[in-house]
Each structure stands twice: as C-alpha cells, then as structure tokens.
Amino acid sequence: MMGRPHVLLVEAIHPDALAWLRERADVVIAGDYREETLLKLAPGADAIVIRANGKVDERLLAHAPRLRVVARHGVGLDNIDIEGCSRQGVWVVHTPLANVEAVAEHAVGLMLAVAKGIARSDRAVRQGEFTAARRDIVGEELEGKTLGIVGFGRIGQRVAAICRAAFAMPVLFTDVLSQIEAAARLEAERVPLDELLVRSGVVSLHLPLTPATRHLIDAAALARLHPGAILVNTSRGAVVDEQALGEALRTGSISAGLDVFEEEPLPSDHPLTVLPNVVLTPHCASHTESALRAMGMVVEDVIRVLTGEPPRYPANRPPSAVIR
C-alpha cells in the first residue's frame, strides 16, 4: 500500500488504542453512526472499525471500493454483513477474548442486583423511604439455585465458573456444541432449552443474534420458567421477545436483569422502565477500563491486514484476500 492507510472509526475507541493507530494510519472518527454519515465517509476508507452501533451492510460496502478490513470492537457480528465482506475480498476481524471477564462479572452483578433488590432499595433510600424499604424489600440468596446458561461459549462458561465457586450453583447449559471438556471441568449438564428453563432458578443468556436465536426466549419459553426465576440478558436484546417479557414481568412471577434491548438506546417511556422487578443497564457490560482497551486494540489486526499480514482473530477468510 502506498502512503498511510485511511481508517474510519464509527465511534471513538480507547485512547491508548487510538494513539497506537494514529502512529500508523490516518484516522477519521465519524461522530455519529447514521447511515448517511457513514456513506459519505466510506469511499476513502481502507478499514472501518465498528462498535455496537451502526452497521456495515451491502449498501455501505458498495460505497467503499478501497475497503480491505472491517474490525468489530467487541464480539457480536450481527451488524456486519460477513458474507458480503467475503465476496468483496474484505477481512472481518474481532476481539473474541477481550471482554469475557467484564461481561461475565456484569451478568453475575445483575443476578445479585435482582435477587437482593439492590436497585429498588437504592431508589427507595434516595426518595426518603428508608424504613418502608427496609421492611418491604426482601431479597433472595443465589446459593444453591440452579443456573441455566443458554449459550455455553467463553462468557457463558466464565459465568458458570463464578457462580459455582461463589454460590455453589449447579449448572445446566444448552448449546449447539457439546462442549464436552468445559462441561466436565465445570460439572455442567447439557440439556435441551425447554428442560433448562423448567429446571433453572436463574437463566443467563450468552448467544449471538442470528435468525435462529431471534426471539428464542418468547412467550412460550418464558411460561416455562417457574415462579421466582431470574432471567439475565447480556447478549443481544432481540434474543428475547421484549413484549412477551414485559407481560411476564407484569405478572410478578419472574424478574430480570437486562443490559441489552431490541431498540437501543432504550426509549425513556419504554414499558420496561416502570416495572419494579427488572434491573436495566445501558448495554455497558463490557465497559471496564481493561476490556475497552483490549477491544480497542482490534486495530492491531487492522494494521496487520493492511500491511499484508494475516489477522490473529479473523471472523472470515475472503477468497480473494491477499496476505504474505
């Protein structure tokens, strides 16, 4: 490649990663992730780095004739047209190891916040209802509850490890892969989803969003949860049918902790925001200092591709891509 490559960041990344990249490339930060903004900037881009917002689809690819690599700051790839990138000879890279601990700890944090009524108690104290809250808000213990993990990849396995060690929780899981070694190491039992939902006191979702997983947790699935069960979602909002979840929460039989939503940002008047038995966080499970830096360093794979080296963490292998 002649001259310095041009890298388009859809959103800002960790300052350390940004400084590293600027030593090696000319960088443009889009400022917003609207389609019209990205279409204007795409023609000059040799690389695009995208986070959870915006998307790299067929239309954007058609406006990016110089593009050689799309980097996902994170794990989920549902906002990137991987097949389209492959057809155009564009690498897709991501950071599958960067946020495992951050997301797993956040999932466990949501379990605790829901079980102990922490968010409700905090609101009550701030509103001067200390005595009433101390009397009326009664939590539960996680110890001994059965944990059901839906999607037993790296994050799901880490959640299982934390919960087994901290709370002696038996672990069930469902996954398209048998995960034999992890199951043995964590003494986890692989069962069908329907059985997992019936048997679990806490269900934690760790799935990619695909046509097969969209609304996997629907009204029928939610009806299988027993009274008092906790549902935690730190994967993708659309894995859960949000309308069905809202109806299940309104009955008061289950509770939930959610970091992701079908529409983001979550509208301030969304029905979930007024329910007392759900804890909501703003898609920030991976937002720790160390995880943000590690995800930002996806730019190392960007530069590897642009200098003809094979990437370390590819999500595809385009037939026409050239590497040394």
Catalytic residue among 264, 289, 309, 312: 264
φ, ψ dihedrals at 39, nearest 5°: -65, -35
* CA distances (Å), origin 34, targets 31, 39, 59, 254, 263: 9, 9, 13, 37, 15
Catalytic residue among 236, 242, 300, 304: 236
Short-list 76, 114, 116, 113, CA closest to 94: 76
CB within 8 Å of 81: residues ≥ 6 apart:
55, 56, 57, 58, 61
Identity of the residue numbered 277: N
φ, ψ dihedrals at 214, nearest 5°: -60, 125
Annotated catalytic residue 283: yes
Catalytic residue among 51, 158, 283, 304: 283
Per-residue DSSP letter, 309: P
Annotated catalytic residue 154: no
Annotated catalytic residue 270: no
User: Which residues are part of the catalytic machinery?
Assistant: 236, 264, 283
